């Protein structure tokens, strides 16, 4: 919501309460509970082990948000909650997203007192920043939930890439950090002659293989466990695809250039800044949080910075395609 009046500003100021209430509803599965059966707060209180009065106010707050409505049979999700929550992503995906936001909340404790401090605000609070890569690397449950969550979230992005990518003359594609294989599986669906190889960390590859085995394309996709920034890359590919997975660097881009077949394509898809002071809408909160962890952070990079790095290592004919409001695709040839 973009504020227009003093009341809007005050509502935003009180928004921490609202955000916490919504996050709790998503993590605890309240909307899915009420989708099965309308319930009064006393029944929800028993089902979720929440003190009765607290549960009453919690559900009224969610009703004020337009996400619950009180009917003769009890509270039930509104049509907005149905379309924007229940029909959008699974319960587990929403739970994972809400949990991630909750884990970052310590950054905002006493923010006015610390905003001018150039140190990491994690350190200011005596905390270590969550290392999500290490969690996914070593925790099978976290890796599973993360991989399935991104498989859901990136479906529309996969469709946009498939509509805009040039597969002419491409037989084998290497998908760097492709996770579940969501992008590759969509490309296989749209281009029957294509073969795909996904590289990612071991736990994610195991889950990606599980997902692929539930599709008709399981014989045309393989998963290889490796760290694509440190380990040698496999060779023999007509295209390397990096979608929302690689921190841009000349070292990585040179590595990709050197393993592509002659005339091969490099396609990188991400949400770039148009300039260093103008971050895409979907990345604004990420960029602000990143600056609280590292005050020197300039993230995400601009599209011109990435394009120049790609040219510097020898790629030719960069073509920039805007595939959605915030996502851009840079296509280059060896």
pLDDT given for residue 164 in this prediction: 97
pLDDT given for residue 284 in this prediction: 86
3-state secondary structure of 227: coil
Task: Assess contact for 241 and 183: CB atoms under 8 A.
Answer: yes
Task: Count CB-CB contacts under 10 A for residue 149.
Answer: 21
The encoded tokens of residue 260 equal 């592509």
Fold of 146-333: Rossmann fold (3.40.50)
Q: pLDDT by residue for the chain (334 residues), tens digit each?
A: 688 999 889 888 888 899 999 999 999 999 999 999 999 999 999 999 999 999 999 999 999 999 999 999 999 999 999 999 999 999 999 999 999 999 999 999 999 999 999 999 999 999 999 999 999 999 999 999 999 999 999 999 999 999 999 999 999 999 999 999 999 999 999 999 999 999 999 999 999 999 999 999 999 999 999 999 899 999 999 999 999 998 899 999 999 999 999 999 999 999 988 776 778 777 888 889 999 999 887 777 888 899 999 999 999 878 999 998 889 999 999 9
| CATH number for the domain running over 6-95 | 1.10.10.10
Task: Count CB-CB contacts under 10 A for residue 32.
Answer: 18
DSSP state of 67: S
pLDDT given for residue 247 in this prediction: 86
Global pTM? 0.91
pLDDT given for residue 312 in this prediction: 95
| Distance, C-alpha 64 to centroid of its chain | 28
d(CA 100, CA 98): 5
**What b/e sequence results for 86-99 when a residue is b if at least 16 CB atoms lie within 10 Å of its CB, and e otherwise?**
beebebebbbbbbe
The encoded tokens of residue 210 equal 């599980």
Q: Residue 100: which of 146, 141, 144 has the closest Cα?
A: 146
| 161-202 confidence digits (pLDDT tens) | 999 999 999 999 999 999 999 999 999 999 999 999 999 999
- Full strand arrangement of the beta sheet holding 316-322: 221-225, 195-200, 172-176, 237-243, 260-270, 328-333, 316-322
Kindly report, as residue ranges, where domains of CATH 1.10.10.10 are found in the chain. 6-95
Kindly report, as residue ranges, where domains of CATH 3.40.50.150 are found in the chain. 146-333
**266 bridge partner residues:** 240, 332
pLDDT given for residue 31 in this prediction: 98
d(CA 12, CA 154): 29
3-state secondary structure 152-180: HHCHHHHHHHHHHCCCCCCCEEEEECCCC
DSSP state of 85: I
- Dihedral (CA of 222, 223, 229, 234) sign: negative
């Amino acid at each position: 919501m973009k504020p227009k009046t003093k009341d809007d500003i005050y509502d935003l100021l009180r928004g921490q309460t609202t955000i916490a209430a919504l996050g709790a509803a998503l993590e605890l599965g309240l909307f899915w509970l009420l989708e099965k059966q309308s319930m009064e707060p006393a029944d929800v209180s028993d089902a979720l082990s929440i003190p009765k009065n607290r549960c009453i106010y919690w559900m009224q707050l969610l009703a004020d948000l337009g996400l619950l409505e009180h009917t003769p049979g009890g509270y039930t999700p509104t049509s907005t909650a149905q379309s924007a929550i229940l029909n959008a992503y699974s319960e587990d995906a929403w739970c994972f997203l809400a949990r991630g936001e909750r884990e970052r909340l310590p950054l905002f404790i006493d923010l006015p007192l610390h905003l001018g401090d150039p140190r990491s605000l994690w350190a200011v609070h005596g905390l270590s920043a969550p290392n999500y890569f290490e969690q996914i690397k070593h925790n099978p449950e976290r890796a599973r939930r993360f991989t399935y969550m991104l498989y859901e979230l990136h479906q529309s992005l996969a469709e946009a890439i498939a509509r805009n990518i040039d597969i002419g003359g491409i037989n084998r594609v290497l998908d760097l950090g492709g996770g579940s294989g969501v992008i590759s599986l969509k490309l296989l669906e749209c281009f029957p002659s294509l073969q795909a190889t996904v590289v990612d960390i071991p736990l994610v590859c195991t889950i990606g293989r599980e997902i692929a085995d539930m599709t008709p394309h399981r014989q045309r996709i393989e998963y290889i466990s490796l760290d694509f920034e440190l380990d040698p890359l496999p060779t023999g590919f007509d295209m390397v695809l990096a979608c929302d997975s690689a921190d841009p660097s000349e070292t990585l881009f040179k590595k990709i250039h050197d393993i592509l077949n002659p005339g091969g394509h490099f396609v990188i898809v991400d949400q770039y800044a148009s300039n260093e002071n103008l971050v895409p809408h979907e990345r604004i909160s990420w960029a602000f949080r990143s600056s609280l962890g590292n005050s020197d952070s300039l993230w995400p990079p601009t599209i011109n910075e990435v394009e120049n790095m790609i040219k510097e290592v020898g790629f030719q004919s960069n073509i920039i395609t805007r595939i959605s409001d915030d996502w851009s695709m840079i296509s280059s040839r060896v």
